[in-house]
Structure 1
Amino acid sequence: MKRIITFLFFFGIMPLSAQVTLQKTTKDNDLKLSALPYYNYGKGLGITSPDSIFQFNIRFRVQNRATYLQEEGEESAIDGQIRRLRLRFDGYVGDPRFIYAIQLSFAPGDVGEVKEGENLNIIRDAVVFYRPTKHWNIGFGQTKLPGNRQRVNSSGALQLSDRTINNAKFNIDRDFGFQLHNQHEAIDKFSYNLRSAITMGEGRNSTDEPDNGLAYTGKFELYPFGAFTKDGAYFEGDLKRETTPKLMLSGAYQFNNKARRTGGQLGNDLFEKRDMQSLFLDGMVKYNGWAFMAAYMQRFAKDPITVNPEDATDIEYIFTGNGMDYQLSYLFPSNYELIGRFSKQKANSDIAVLAPDAKQYSIGFTKYVWEHAFKAQLEFTLDELSYFDNTSKQNWYIRFQVEMGI
């Protein structure tokens, strides 16, 4: 009963401080979904009933890539794969204030390996929203949590082929539950967004036995000089060539009570449940083709190592530690772009024997045909791993990727 009262209290006071936003455009069949910041170029394929009782939009995107890899001490390898293949559907039913959004994934890297007793991960997003006013959105279902900036952005709106090593370790990804967003954005004046969520804490498509542990997430976003052009905070690079400097500052925090997995919403199952906390700080600047981003991520957990009670050599642990990302780019008038990125990651002392510290260096070159919707990317990445016993290892790869979608 105490937890139920806490739950209701949280949502009762949230309208005073939080937010979710959806805006229906009138010029095309598109929806702006603040909790689902897909990158859009053009109208996609849309159907609206003659009586305007329902609207149905469909989009797709595909990422094909080829990679040459060299890991220290190993034979070189060549990999070619469909990294992402996704279908997205959105629209409204009965009234434009009642909105749905669905995203399905079909590529092996998205769905993951089929394991006995585990669910397929075809469903990425399945969420319904109620939008009582232009500033408020209330969501229920499975979708992205309001976490760090690069993770909230669509993978189709990245400047490099993948997110950073810190995103891989610390991000809170997707979850099932309630979200509440409040959005106040204007191009020419100070703007802000507030977002919150109460979710199951188990990640997407989880059907584990129910428990009484939930995840609580909150986020703020500040735009001191006004919002970015065409929702530019939701895609990397200054594709709109901002005519005045634009700045975004944001912070997010999550407490995941009785988490079952090593990464909260992601990772392997722990042998014992643990409470964990995640902190995210982000900054983004864009001006006249230049774009700079910086991010800090950190995870806390007490007693992060769990041991199989039937085999003391079998362990699962929470990656506790912190990391920083820095990314700088310039878009030439010809729509060619040069990108540089540096990331560093440090494991906490309590897991240092199990997890190395890491640094990652990336240089990328992108040609935008239709902005992020159709682009070709070439990338070189070097990883440096430093282990507890003072040994180190270097791995690198060269990758070519083409992204296309509507």
Structure 2
Amino acid sequence: MKNFIILVFIICLGVFSNAQIIKFDTIDKEVKHAALPYYSYGKGLGLTSPDSIFQLNIRFRMQNRVTYWDREGDEESIDAQIRRLRLRFDGYVGSPEFMYSIQLSFAPEDVGEVEDGGNLNVIRDAVIVYKPNEHWDFSFGQTKLPGNRQRLNSSGALQLTDRSINNSKFNIDRDFGLQIHNSNEFSNKFSYNFRGAISLGEGRNWTDNSDTGLALTGKAEIFPLGAFKKTGAFFEGDIQREEKPKLMLSAAFHQNNKARRERGQTGNELFEARTMQSLFGDLIFKYNGWSFQSAYMNRTAKNPITYNPEDANDVRYVFVGEGLDFQTSYLFRNNYELIGRYSNQWVDDKIRPFEPNTQQFSLGLTKYIWEHAFKIQAEGTYEMQDFMLNQDKNNWYVRFQVEIGI
């Protein structure tokens, strides 16, 4: 890590010595590409070479939080941590048609535990994008798949301190592969987008490839009343205060053939590969400070349970089931926002002995200082878990979080 930081510092010195600071006013189209991983206020720090052969944009963001937990059956606890620490580089090389995006993560929960023989999960995004015009782009590398909307949104563009329990269990996350996007967004008339991807199916930084199973993803989005202001479908809340009602509807399907992990791209490794299908539906509505969004998520698989060949009592399983999210908010004129969310998650009967059905109720208050790039958030969440044999648990937490970035 020390060597990496020194290398980045040397590169930046070299770029500064031969570059001029620029304004990235001409690359709003980049933000609409799902490979670019998060919302930003402004365009970060931009540099360009004197001959305009390349451009480099540097951004960072950090989430610091403290949480008080009260889980039934466990001792109360306080957790304080750097939840996310991200560094991002993007720009183009040779021509604006050939873009790149790199995102690195350094927080403990982002990187995860280092295991013998395992890969270090520092790289989140490393993707090359060819964008011949404003309607088409082709990307190759590791980045987010075109799945559910809340997952495509950056964790830095959320109204509450984290995504929903359904997103945690059912999203299809990042993967390495080829993506094709067709965008047709207009401010005042019907708009639509299509996304497609062929990917490895095992998630980010996976190198243990022993089969030919691939993942196929397709997604369609429509904007019946025209597109949101400033790519508003990629951040939560109506911080742009839409002057006219705006609506987005989307659906996505994902099939992961011979998946090796419990949730496809995430989770522990299964004892046997399984093919799984995922279905996503999203709705977003914004108008005059009001925002409402809803999401449906589903995962299915035949024979989701796998057994350790050396111990039949040791099982690992595909997380199959479905969930619904409802989230609404209002942004006051003083840039305080009140948010409420309800999530319901039902697990499939095949894994019901191992997992509870869950409901969550969340209430949040956010103060936007510099849109989503600098904000203070407070959240309280109450959770009801329904285990088999009437072993119910009720949990709750309160959390304070500060987010800052460029």
TM-score relative to the length of structure 1: 0.93
Q: Distance in 2 between matches of 1:37 and 1:126?
A: 10
Gaps of 5+ in 2: 1-22
CA shift for structure 1 position 28: 6.2
Shift in Å, 1:34: 1.0
Q: What is the rounded CA distance, in whole Å, between the counterparts of 1:131 and 1:211 in structure 2?
A: 32
Give per-residue Cα distances to partners, 1:99-139, cap 9 Å, x unaligned.
00000000001001111121111000000011111110000
Structure 1's unaligned 5+ residue stretches are 1-24
State the distance in 2 between where 1:240 and 1:60 align.
23
Mapping for residues 189-204 of structure 1, pairs under 5 Å = 189-204=189-204
Q: Which amino acid aligns with 2:300?
A: F
Cα distance in structure 2, aligned partners of 1:64 and 1:112? 17
Q: Which amino acid aligns with 1:251?
A: A
Contact 2:24 2:43 (C-alpha < 8 Å) held by counterparts: no
- Matched with 1:361 is 361
Q: Provide, for residues 50-99 of structure 1, a one-character-per-residue CA deviation record: whole Å limited to 9, x for no partner.
A: 11110000000000000000001211101100000000000000111000
Q: Find the counterpart in structure 2 of residue 9 from structure 1.
A: none
- Maintained 8 Å contact 1:29/1:47: no
Runs of 4+ displaced beyond 6 Å: none
Whether the 8 Å CA contact 1:246–1:287 is kept in 2: the answer is yes
Match of 2:139 in 1: 139
Of residues 264-273 and 25-34 in structure 1, the stretch that sits farther from structure 2 once superposed is 25-34
Structure 2 residue matching 1:330: 3-state secondary structure: strand
Aligned to 2:225: 225
Match in the other structure for 1:77:
77
Assess if the C-alpha contact under 8 Å between 1:336 and 1:366 holds in 2: yes
Paired amino acid for 2:69: L
Q: Percent same amino acid at aligned positions?
A: 65
Aligned to 2:385: 385
In the alignment, what sits opposite 1:21? none
User: In the superposition, relative to structure 1, how do residues 233 and 253 fare at CA in structure 2: closer, same or farther (>3 Å)?
Assistant: same
Q: Deviations over 1:134-164 (max 9, x none)?
A: 1100000000000000000000000001100
The answer as to whether partners of 2:24 and 2:46 remain within 8 angstroms in 1 is no
Aligned to 1:104: 104
The letter of the residue matching 2:401 is Q
Change (3 A) 1:271 1:260: same
Name the structure 1 match of 2:399: 399
1-side partners of 2:356 and 2:121: how far apart? 29
* Preserved contact between residue 204 and residue 265 of structure 2 (Cα < 8 Å): yes
Answering whether residue 245 of structure 2 is matched by residue 245 of structure 1, we say yes
Q: Which residue of 2 aligns with 1:302?
A: 302
> How much is the aligned-residue C-alpha RMSD, in angstroms?
1.3
**1:29 offset after TM fit, Å?**
6.9
TM-score with structure 2 length normalisation?
A: 0.93
Tell me if 1:333 matches 2:355. Answer: no
In 2, Cα distance between equivalents of 1:112 and 1:332? 38
What is the CA–CA distance in structure 2 between the aligned matches of 1:26 and 1:122, rounded to whole Å?
27
2:163 corresponds to: 163
d(CA) in 2 for partners of 1:168 and 1:395? 17
Map of 1:259 onto structure 2: 259
Residue of structure 1 equivalent to 2:33: 34
CA distance in 2 between counterparts of 1:258 and 1:207 reads 15
Deviations 1:20-52 (A, max 9, x none): xxxxx9626764251225211123111111111
Aligned match of 2:18: none
CA distance in 2, matches of 1:292, 1:351: 32
| Inter-partner Cα distance in structure 1 for 2:358 and 2:25 | 47
Distance 2:209 2:31 in 1: 35
Distance in 2 (CA, whole Å) between partners of 1:163 and 1:320 is: 19
- The aligned counterpart of 1:370 is 370
Change (3 A) 1:352 1:273: same
Following the alignment from structure 1 to structure 2, what is the Cα–Cα distance between the partners of residues 37 and 109? Answer: 18
Number of aligned residues: 383
